[in-house]
Structure 1
Amino acid sequence: MPFATSADGERLHYEVHGDGEPLLLLAGQANNLHWWDSVREDFDAAFTTVVLDWRGTGSSSRPDTDTYSTRGFVDDVTAVLDHAGVGRAHVYGTSMGGRVAQWLAADRPERVGRLVLGCTSPGAAHGVERSNAVRQSVAQRDQVAALRALKELMYTPGWLAAHPGHRFCTLGDPTMEPYARRRHLLASSRHDAWEALPRIGAPTLVVHGTDDEFNPTANAGLLAGRIPGARVRLIEGARHAYFEEFAGVATPLVVRFLQA
């Protein structure tokens, strides 16, 4: 089980799979590397994939310190790439992982080949935030109802009905400590890369589901409008976990772009 060491001395668990050009896959808020389990093998067929547990999740260290931020996570990602012997990689970040990917591409352009930003946002200051109704649905005290609401924000009703025994890896790391969940939430909510986006020089593809209310679809156009030459692809009918439910569309789309 490989571990990198962060700049502040924390242990960062990661895995390397596949064969080909390096591809860094960055998971969403409060999730670990298993976020990618349902689609990672498809990427392994074309790339050497690198996945990691964010600090606070999985087998990585879980410091209860003020060291969680989307820009700060770039240091952790860089430590993982260095330990894995990867100088430059394509980057595919989804949700909070897409926020981290924005900073990685802007601050350390020499480490990024091509960039894919999925179901993500430039940040609350300039982006489109989820509605109060959505916020309340996932924050209600009835945990069963809150989980049901989260599933329905991630996947379509038809897909959920057809997969009653599905092993969900996108609903948060169940082993996380409450303090780590709060710190991840703050890191994501404080993200603001608006002024940095025009510095991104990597060829960029922005992907989003048309029915994403968890991270509203309008953010895709905002990101593409700030990143020079960026392209947008919207996946019809998809919600926040488009990359899993609509993998038959999304994965080939991303692979073609990365291999262009």
Structure 2
Amino acid sequence: MHATTVDGTRIAYQVRGTGQPLVLLAGQSNNHTWWDPILPDFAGRRLITLDWRGTGESDKPDEVYTTRGFAQDVVAVLDDLGLDSANVYGTSMGGRVAQWLAIDYPQRVDALVLGCTSPGAAHGYERSQEIRKALADPARTERVLLELMYSPAWLAENPGPYCVLGDPTMPSYAKGRHLVASNRHDAWDGLPTITASTLILHGTDDIFSPAANAQLLADRIPGARAELVKGARHAYFHEFRSVASPAVLAFLAAAQDRT
């Protein structure tokens, strides 16, 4: 299925199951398959995933992308489905987009989960220059990214394939557009206006998006609560799904009870 945005871009999206809608927003340069390993954890809900513009089956315009613009794309999907609102769970860049969704469209977000994300470079904690240089080396990129995502023990026991290493079908210009969009994200001024109940999850051992960002966001968003997943790196939601998914479900159930 496709939704058409205000600028005419077609955004591919997928719907699974029935029940209370939960929108799942993937990381930078990834499509909906980012979530594939943990979709069974959220059985009993209407799960909505999408391919960011530039990825998957969505259009790939060669133009400026922004995290705020990606939030507008999510709204186009909700509109196409006839949904007034939904719960939203965004990780990594998806968490940055989710911030804008809750800031600009508060009536569309029933409850908000932000995972392994930050308010942006201007006020948040950023990865080191050493990591940036390592990721820029084509000969090392995939291995470095894997080690940022998962613990060595988990990698030794799980040889892949992996769903969090980026969409291999993306054109190079779209990868660049995604990188710039994520790097320029700055929702700091808008975070105090978020009204949705908010849970923030982060792995204690995440240095890709440093774990200190979790409490920073919690202090900035009214009523938000941060939970750290001990021993987890950036892909906490996958490796530590037995901890993370129940935490999300418990939070969403409590938020629903309060409405």
State the TM-score, normalizing by the size of structure 2: 0.97
Pick one of 72, 78, 86 that aligns with 2:75: 78
Pick one of 163, 168, 173 that aligns with 1:174: 168
Q: What do you get for the CA RMSD once the two structures are aligned?
A: 0.7
Corresponding residue number in structure 1 for 2:58: 60
User: Is there any run of 5+ residues in structure 2 with no aligned partner, and where?
Assistant: 255-259
Q: Deviations over 1:175-234 (max 9, x none)?
A: 000000000000000000000000001000000000001000010011001000100100
Corresponding residue number in structure 1 for 2:150: 155
Q: Tell me the percent identity.
A: 61
Say if 2:44 is the partner of 1:46: yes
Say if 2:109 is the partner of 1:115: no
Corresponding residue number in structure 1 for 2:206: 212
Pick one of 177, 186, 190 that aligns with 1:196: 190
Q: Deviations over 1:36-90 (max 9, x none)?
A: 00011221x1310100000000000000012x10001111000001111211100
- Specify the code of the residue in structure 2 equivalent to 1:13: A
Runs of 4+ in structure 1 off by over 2 angstroms are none
User: Is there any run of 5+ residues in structure 1 with no aligned partner, and where?
Assistant: none
1-side partners of 2:224 and 2:51: how far apart? 28
2-side partners of 1:97 and 1:163: how far apart? 25
Corresponding residue number in structure 2 for 1:221: 215
Aligned length: 254
Note the 1:23-34 alignment, pairs <5 A.
23-34=22-33
State the TM-score, normalizing by the size of structure 1: 0.96
Say if 2:199 is the partner of 1:237: no
1-side partners of 2:40 and 2:76: how far apart? 24
2-side partners of 1:51 and 1:87: how far apart? 16
